[in-house]
Homo-oligomer: A and B are copies of this chain.
Amino acid sequence: MVNSPFKALSHPIRRQIVERLAVGPATVGEVTSDFGVSKPAISKHLKVLEESGVLSRVVDGRNHVLSLRTETLDEATDWMVRQREIWTRLFDVVEDHLKEEQR
C-alpha cells in the first residue's frame, strides 16, 4: 500500500469511480464508459485506487471485476473524524474556561 487513500481520492475521476463502485461491483469496461477518457487513463486511475487499497480486483476470464474495499475508506474517515473530535474538545475546554472566569 504505497499511496494514501487521500492521495487516491484527490482526483475527481477516481472519486467518481468510487461512487460508481459503491452501488455495486463493475468491470473495467463498465467503469470506463462512464467518463470521456481513454482506457489507458482509466487503467492508471484504477492502479492508483488499487495500490492505495481503495478497491480490489478479481480477474474473471478476460474481465476484471472491481469492488470497493470499505476498510480503507474507513481508515481515512476515522482520521478525519478524529481530527474533528480533538478540535471540538478544544472548543469545550475554551468554553469551560470562559464559564469559570464568569464566576
Contact = CB atoms under 8 A, between A and B. Distances in A.
Contact of A6 (B10, B22, B70): B10
Interface of chain A: mostly helix, strand, loop or mixed: helix
Copies in the complex: 2
Most buried by B among A6, A19, A81, A84: A6
B80 A73 contact: yes
Interface string A1-32: 00010110110100100110111100000000
A77 interface: yes
Interface stretch (A34-42, A57-65, A85-93): A85-93
B22 A12 contact: no
Contacts of A84: 22, 70, 73-74, 77
